[in-house]
Structure 1
Amino acid sequence: MDEEAPADRYARRWDALSVLLVVAVLGGLTLVSRSDTGASFASIVADGGVVLAACVLVPVLIRWPVPGALAMAALAAVSPAGTPAASIAVLRVASQRPLPVAVGVAAASAVAHALLGILRPIPGLPYGWFLVIDAAVHAALVAWGALIRLRHVARCERERRAEEEQAERVAAARRQERTMIAREMHDVLGHRLSLVAASAGALEYRPDAPAEQIAHAAGVVRAGVHQALEELREVIGVLRADDLVGSAGGSGGSGSSDGEARPQPTLAGLPALVGESRDAGLAVELDDRTEGTPPETLGRTAYRIVQEGLTNARRHAAGLPVRVVVEGEAGEALRVELRNRLPSGPSTSDRRGTGLVGLAERAASVGGRLDHGTTADGDFRLAAELPWPP
């Protein structure tokens, strides 16, 4: 409010100066025309006083349009020199006030001019025609002012809608970003915690294992928990940074708490991902037949598909081997397939999450598709085909 008040004050002053200049110029021209028609000196002096009074009333018209317009109409009732100021006043009221108010002010001005026609009739113009012209001019002023007001209201409405649409776009972008963060958290933490659970399960079911195996499993648990905490801290940092940017009026953005984004995994990280699963006791065979390096987004999508597939295999078919095949080249498609035998008994996990739904959305986001289900030979198959641009 404090910053806008000076701007409003300057705008009002400039508006008053502009109206004052128009009233003074038109009033002066009226005085000149009166002197050319042979009016008496006293009459011209009186008309000059009316012009001066109209100029004095301009600030009143700017601040209080209706009272100012009525005062201008009163001046027009006694002198033709007040007609320009009264006409400008009617136009201003019609452009700033509702139509009923504008019609009332215009009617008062028309009555004042009707009185002027009686006090100072125009030679050669019948009074009846004078009233017709008087009514027509004021009707035109009201219509003109109403049109100006409607355009102003329409412009304000367009600006308001544009601001609302912009705010909605920003909110949608923030929701989409949070959804992506939640999806990353599901994939990363789900994979990491499944490794911890597999290693902890080995410690629970093999208490008589050699000390080296127990120490190795304990190390995997410790490293997995540490990495899970670090990744969770990064996700929370991203969300907090996003909240801070949003509260400052930005459009949202991603970033860690220290301002640097952690590099996202790509297809080159598959050997390390498979190695982690092997360390947790899952027999994984990786067959990488890709030719060339896919784009970062495509490689990250394939990585997440393999990561989620390995996580599901540890949850639902622990101890059974998994085969991972990745193949493709630029200009064709990148194909990812995971196969594992289904357990003969009940699944080792009865949890039903949204991992496969998220994977399908990931694949669709890059123009690909995802299929999963049980094959004829009793394997569970998870396959994705992602377009690889040339």
Structure 2
Amino acid sequence: MMDAQHVQSEQSVLFCSLSNICLDHLVLPGKPPLIDIVGGPGGYATLGARIFAASPLSKRIGWLITVGGDFPSQVKEELESWDLSLSLKIDDKQLTPRGLQHYEDESFGPVSFHELTPAFDFSPSDLLDAKVAHASAFHLLGTPEMCATYIPAIHRLRRSAGNPKPCLVVWEPEPRACRTTTRAATVKAAANVDVVSPNHLELRRLFEDDFSTSRPTAAMIEDYAQRLVAEGLGRNGDGQLVVRAAELGCMVLSRKEPARWFPAFYSPSREDVDRARFEGVEVPSHPSVVDPTGAGNAFLGAFTFELAMSNDISEACCRGIVAASFTLEQIAFPTLSRGRHGRSKETWNGIQVEIRLKEYKRRLAMG
């Protein structure tokens, strides 16, 4: 068993995503391909947390990455520059997980993804080796079966290591596993977590096989959400459901609290928002939105980090919305900049994140 001092040192890690990274090959129309771009749900979730955790707070983000012997040194240097509690596990007998992301036109809207080399299998015991088993909060993207297996295993591992304190778990259901036939398994698995967060399309697929609109209206989202919450989410049936809804922002709901909406930072025009909200039609994106890849994962990274810090779900939603906004502005990750010798605050795409957060809260106050 670990001694108390060792457990306490590991508890300094506040957040860890249980999803691995993927190195993407991006094929863009009329441009040379971009090779070995960091992506994957774990990459974007960790990015979201990091956006709101400037150094030295960034050290409270744990990142367990398993890669192959072909992992590029320049990517390793990029990840190390984020100043995280990074644990890089290299398996020389395997290839690093890679994917091909093909953008079909210059709008960067239609996109297809193909796995080039498979992701590594994850074991909860890997967390102990990486000294992140005692993190305060975890983000997990996975199937109901994975959630129902991994989360209890992590709690057992923590108890055996001398830490009986439960951890916060935010579960992002695997999109391909969101079907009407898996709803019962989803609800059962959700008993192991604190927050469940599908997007609006995944939520609809848990209840409907045939759709009358291209996207669910806000009223449909609330109806599906209320039905899912009524079936019981969380350890005591009082867990939170957070629905990420693209241009409509996000909605949070529980048995104890009514539905609350938080608008997107880059909302389309008021007319288009109303069409999406009331008619369920696809609408043009805000001009600042270049590529939505990873925005939902980044939302959950920032959301989980803040919820672990403050237990304030409204603040967590605001920070999730703002973190996602930075990922939308370009293909791949936003650019992190620091002043010389750390004398000025960090910026992402040239913007201080706290300034953008204040702007977003000002909009909320104005209604």
Report the TM-score, using the length of structure 2 for normalisation. 0.21
**Larger relative helix fraction:** 1
